[in-house]
Amino acid sequence: MLGSLSVEGPERHARYELLGELASGGMATVYLGRRRGAAGARLVAVKSMHQELAADDAFAAMFLDEATLTARIKHPNVVSTLDVVSADGKLLIVMEFVEGVSVGRLLELAAARRTHVPPAVVVSVLCDVLRGLHAAHELVDENGRPLSVVHRDVSPQNVLIGLDGVARILDFGVAKAASHRHVTAQGEIKGKLAYMPPEQQFGEPVDRRSDVYAAGIVLWELLVGRRLFTARDDDELVRQMFEGTVAPPSTVAPVPVPRAIDHVVLRALSRERQDRWWSAEQMANALRAALEPASRAEVVATIASIAREEIEQRAAHVRALQTSRAPRLEREAQTVLDVLTARGNETIPEPVPFAPVTKVESPSARESARAVAESRAARRAQRRAQRRLRLILTLVGVGLLVVALMVLALVLGRKTREAEGESPSVRLEPTTTPTLEPSPGPPARKSRKMWGAGSLAAAARDRITADPVASRQY
């Protein structure tokens, strides 16, 4: 609960100074802040819900859920929540400040410079992301009960690569957990459509494998250097996701990619969740086995070569905020929330996005996805029925052929015996030579062969009837 998150009154704000705005999104604004303590000062990121949303109980519950959840997760690959400060019913989430660049921005810059992220660096970044997700998925409450956390918004914009070479997952604003106060309404969809697994588009229950699917898309895009799913509108995007074929990265990447990585990616992107990696950790292990991850130094060198100007500009902006805003805010530490509200309308231009992403909070995309899926399911069922009919006709044909051959063998055998009976017999004197019994003739051997073929056909029919797995293949 809130007490465990060190939430206190306004006096606690004296420990923090807001220096200026870093970014603004649909729900909240993130500010650069400074946290003062006995050990000295530390830069932090302070997230505050937009004033117009703070009065909405549903949004307030989501914000509080994010604060509660991220404060529980202590992992080097998840952006840490350091504190949650409350005053007059308003919340500030104080997080670690990470200097670096998002995967989304890195892809934009790489495309603009006609360069790419080396596959080994991609593996290092994704293994970090998967480890962070696994830590969230494994989270338990005070009594050891699983919280069943699902991020639900894994995307390039929510992966931050620090100047220390470590990738971190952030923004659990639409995450699902068993302990959440805000419950997503049935049929309501949250997240970015282009990274959303089928079950999430349907508004069905999600689990950790839903995040694995989204991580698979991020992996594909980093390897290939472009968006996996692009379309003019949501309906076309959904149709592409359900009916399109995902190309193995090794066949479309601008640089050589080990074919072993194709299996990792394509399994993560299975439309049926039972066919995916069952956990983020399992996927990370498979990815490391496919290609040795780059070192931290190699990751740092890569982002520096691709995003050097971006990083330098952000560093200059941070230095300017520290020198220009700190003195006044330090004198007004007790009214930090008022300062935050007054600055709420100021914006810093956002960089051009890697590609437009769609936030979905209505059932329209779910209906489109369901229509496409039902159409695909009907076609699959029709193809299975056609294959089953062909199999039955084939087996019937084989059976009729076997019967015909057996009848032919019997007729030939009877004619042979009749011919032997009509031919002159040789009588031998019983006192000189005993009568010899005739040996079995060729027709009997032919009959045994026909019996064997019939048994094989019957056995094949029995196996297909008895084996549900074999039956499903047709």
Provide DSSP, 55-89: T-HHHHHHHHHHHHHHHH---TTBPPEEEEEEETT
Provide DSSP, 376-419: HHHHHHHHHHHHHHHHHHHHHHHHHHHHHHHHHHHHHHHHHHHH
Identify which has the larger pLDDT, 435 or 49. 49
Domain co-membership, 313 together with 393 = no
Q: Which residues of 337-353 are buried (b: 16+ CB within 10 A; e: fewer)?
A: bebbeeebeeeeeeeee
Query: Is residue 427 in a domain?
Result: no
Q: What CATH number should be reported for the domain holding residue 50? A: 1.10.510.10
**Quick one: tokens of 141?**
């409450």
Query: Is residue 426 in a domain?
Result: no
- CB 211: neighbour CB atoms within 10 A? 31
% of residues, the chain, pLDDT over 70: 65
CB 50 within 8 A of CB 344: yes
Domain co-membership, 274 together with 391 = no
Q: What is the pLDDT of residue 233?
A: 86
Q: What is the pLDDT of residue 58?
A: 78
**Quick one: tokens of 157?**
């914009």
- Establish whether 153 is a catalytic residue: yes
Q: What is the pLDDT of residue 286?
A: 98
Number of domains forming the structure of the chain: 2
Domain co-membership, 343 together with 466 = no
Query: Is residue 372 in a domain?
Result: no
Q: What is the pLDDT of residue 85?
A: 79
Query: Is residue 346 in a domain?
Result: yes
Displacement of CA 152 from its chain's centroid (Å) = 10
How many Cα neighbours within 13 Å face the side chain of 308?
6
Displacement of CA 237 from its chain's centroid (Å) = 17
pTM of the model: 0.66
Query: Is residue 375 in a domain?
Result: no
Phi, psi of 448 (to 5 degrees): -65, -40
Q: pLDDT digits over 124-171, tens only? A: 999 999 999 999 999 988 888 988 899 989 999 999 999 999 999 998
Most confident of 46-60, 229-243, 397-411: 229-243
Residue 28 β-bridge partners:
49
Site of tokens 């465990």: 4
* For residue 178, pLDDT beyond 60: no
Domain co-membership, 246 together with 385 = no
Most confident of 34-38, 245-249, 442-446: 245-249
Domain co-membership, 63 together with 99 = yes
- Give 374: exposed, middle or buried? Use CB within 10 Å, 0-12, 13-18, 19+: exposed
Query: Is residue 433 in a domain?
Result: no
Supply the mean pLDDT for the chain.
Answer: 74
Of the residues 65, 128, 153, 234, which is catalytic? Answer: 153
- Give 183: exposed, middle or buried? Use CB within 10 Å, 0-12, 13-18, 19+: exposed
Q: Residue 137 is part of which domain span? A: 2-362
Distance in angstroms (rounded) separating the CA atoms of residues 200 and 106: 27
Distance in angstroms (rounded) separating the CA atoms of residues 57 and 424: 111
Domain co-membership, 110 together with 194 = yes
Closest alpha carbon to 79 in 71, 87, 68: 71
Domain co-membership, 354 together with 384 = no
Q: pLDDT digits over 250-281, tens only? A: 999 999 999 999 999 999 999 999 999 999 99
Domain co-membership, 152 together with 227 = yes
Domain co-membership, 286 together with 411 = no
Domain co-membership, 165 together with 291 = yes
Q: pLDDT digits over 74-105, tens only? A: 899 999 888 887 655 567 888 999 999 999 99
Domain co-membership, 456 together with 339 = no
Domain co-membership, 315 together with 455 = no
Query: Is residue 150 in a domain?
Result: yes
Q: What is the pLDDT of residue 356?
A: 38
Query: Is residue 340 in a domain?
Result: yes
